[in-house]
Structure 1
Amino acid sequence: MKRQVEFDNTSKKVVSINLDASFFFERALKMLDRRQYEKALKYFRFATEKEPSNPVNHCNLAGLLSEMGKFQESNDILECVVREIDPNLTECWFYLANNATNMEDFELAEDYLLEYLGRDPEGEFAEEAEELLMLISYELGRPAKEVVPLFAEAYIQKHESARQLLETGMFVQATEMLKEIIEEHADFLPARNNLALAYYYMGQMDSAFRTVTEVLEIEEDNIHALCNLAVLCSHIGKNEEYEQLIEMLRNLIPLQKDQAYKLATTMGILGEHEVAYELFVRIARLEDRPDAALYHAAAIASYRVGKLDRARSYWHKAKQLAPDSEVPSFFLNALDGEDPSLHYASYQMQLPFEEQLLRAPITDTKQLQQQVKESPLIRSSLLWGLKHGEEDTKLQVIYALGMIEDAESERALRAFLMRPDEPDWLKEIAILQVRKMNPDEALSVILQGSVRSDCQNEESDLSGQVWQICLPHLQEVGEPIVMAMEDFWRTWSTQPKSQIILQSARKLEVWAAALEYWVSNQLDRPLSKANVAQKYGISPSSITKAMKEFDKYPIT
């Protein structure tokens, strides 16, 4: 469209001006020089109307809107650019992140930055994006999420999505996704390691153990798998294998940062605080962008090895990086007050469990069940409280585990019942919670210094009678063996064929002796067959016959 708009007084000729996008762009720049922003905004809008498919016009408009503080309107335009007009204009993701940061939507800003760096890791604003990502991680009080290159293979992107599901507590979804990855890429070990963690968090110890073993069969020196295996062996009582693993892990020198962090965290969890301290101090010294969580872990390790001044220094650094978090301040005050709860504090950046209970008592069953599904830290806090807390804390944990009502909660309570140093009155309450979860299964408990069975209709049940025969002989064998015997016997004795075998048995003592002998040997606690037979008043050969049936159900 052309219109006569000016006259050249010298030539007396009409000068025509083309009112195109360039014309309005020039007018907008003039208005910007004069600081007439509303007029500049109007001309930028005219430019986009003249050339709606030109992304530069839209970016100019979005930039001015951002300068005027209209961040959301600016982002609406930028979103349109990258999704509809020109997806290759990757710098728009950086502009989006800046606007989101100004709106203090840090989670969204982080997503935009990760998108930008994933699409253009060497881009014009890559360095600024990295710096902004670090600042956002400080605001959020946690490490930044990892950048996934846009053009990485699909299964790697899928694995990153699964890992994020795992971190947010969505274990079932993560498990399904990881299984799919492994089915298509069997040699991709990070997926197997994370699948093992997912099983562990869900309390599926056999599946976790099997998955870790598969990784080590492929790569025997995989540090992540070795660390996972050590935690599992500690949890299920495989003491001999655990000691061998710990000795190996003590002498490892990880070369990669993620391996060092994994090893340091694992050693801390397992009580190897000297090793954890050396690793965390080295990571904190070499890390370009240390975060509050790293400083907290280093502070815990420092405290555990008696370096209180260094612990205080690390918590001060954590407080500077995460000023809104209450965790560093709590531990600084606890350190000054010589709070004994520090001795059992978690390497994870969270308040001690007893403090969490004081601030938010557990009363809502559905809410608690949902929280446990969403965060493995809650379950680990409960298990810590059951083991290390004061009696009133243990009482609340027992009730909480009864409210959760899953297999891992029942297992934790059954283990609690077999600890000789726990008070009987707490065990009586724990028995009620286990009964509520599983009223038909027999359970064992140490009360007044001796092993007893609390069960229903057990005398008339053959499998229950076998367990009753075992109980007087189990007080000295240790909690892991008793728990493994009980778990295995529950599995084996409920098989239809097992009931037929027991009904035809001449002496139930044979099955009681075989159970103790077989489980002990499976867990690398070898016993003399002759001694076990003598203890139960039977012949050694009868144990051998019974064990042939047990061998069909190996403990993994």
Structure 2
Amino acid sequence: MGRQQQKAENLIGQIVPFAQNGEYFFKKGLKYYRRRELYKAKKYFQRAIQYDPNEPIFLCQQAAVLAELSEFEESNTILKRIIDKLDSEMYECYYFLANNYAYLGLFQEAKKYANQYLKFAPDGEFYEDTEDLIDLLSIESSEMNIHLEETDEENLILQQENARELLENGKLEEASEILQQLISDYPEFWSAYNNLALAQFYLGNVKKAIKLTEDVLQKNEGNLHAMCNLAVFFHYLGREKAVEHIVAQLNIVHPIDFDQRSKLGVTFALLGKYEFAYRWLRWLQKFGYEGDVSFYYWLSISAFYTDHNEIANDAWNKVVRMNPEKRNAEPWLNSNMAINEEPLTSSLLEQFKETDNEEKKCLLLFLLMEAGNVESLEEIKRIVSSDSLHYLEEFTNHMLNKLTYDNHKVSPRFVDGYNVIDTLEDQNGWSQIIQQKIYILWFRVLQNGVNDPSINFKNNQAWAAAVEYCFVRAEEYPISQKEIAQKYSISTSTLRKYTQLVMDLI
């Protein structure tokens, strides 16, 4: 027994006492932070906070990491808690808040916190950086003069974050609704316009996406995200001259913001400008930028096509760690990689050639016009002219007239009939799929009635209301005649009259 006790005492003597506390985890977090391994740093700082939830230094460092991970809202919550409840003299929190709000595009709020830092810390570590930030904010504020109450600002952040998550998850129509409301509430909040343009582009509403983007550039000249988006839109439409014009402007841009540099690099990669893409994306990686899957995806591609194979493989390994299902799916091994795909509208052109359904042909012509693709429409014009397809030729002419200053021959009756589509588009409250079905129904009516002189297509509102009502009735949607009539500002008796005309022509 004595020998066993001695053995146990010897064993205990060999055990080194080890007490983990908040300071231990904080130091571990700092180590990873200095190595730019931000997710690990975040984890250890969080462990430190669990031991001491009221230590301002722990919280401030966690807020800094969260900001670098673009988790600005949570970072701001921590920083405000430090100032309001824990240490009102930790003035660097004002500087971090100013930076966070600047990244969010809330320039008035950023300027407020920057000025507070200058007031409270005239000899502070970040004084010169804050003065530089205020200079930049003065420029940005002159371009985007949004004055927000605190509650409005919080609402704006929440809505913007919600829309971003919906976009990332492919819920484009839901994201569009939020972004449209943001634009209505804040008419100079340019990032909402840019995100809405992306959502509309992915929904297939290319014409609307381009118009939104061009509006931003007209009102906020030089908006980098808008320029990048427009270049990508034109690229997928095959409008390479327009792309090169924008690329020439982007080549001389040198943004200071990391996210803008990432946007620029990813855009160059999407356009196949791999040298430019690699320069920006690799620079960001060297300086510790923690990008998302998309960042490493395009870094891997641009590195591969500029003969930096080791970096390409390292970047791709990061993609696989974030998305394990991508294992063994390197994009340069895939012949169908997005960069090598034909422009977006080529599939519409091929569908036009393959289908015998004239209503579908009309829809495809309409979508090509919406996409701004003059070349495909001109090719179709040659096809339908040689085949003596007069109805489709006239439709094609009208689509070309809407995109060019040419004067292709179109009868006034046909123009009146087509204007019903414009009315339906203006009153669009349906999903893209349903809207296109309604268009096809109208194309059938127009085809069957355009050569009948007894039918007048001038009352666009009534025809549009009638064709929508016929569709919703056939699909058994719970919408009444009165609701449709009110939507198009006509009487129910007029709706009944034109509904009968539509039924006769289907």
Q: Does TM-score exceed 0.5, indicating one fold?
A: no
Q: What is the TM-score with the length of structure 1 in the denominator?
A: 0.41
From the two aligned structures, give the one with the greater helix fraction.
2
TM-score, normalization by structure 2: 0.45
Structure with more strand by fraction: 1
The structure with the largest alpha-carbon Rg is 1
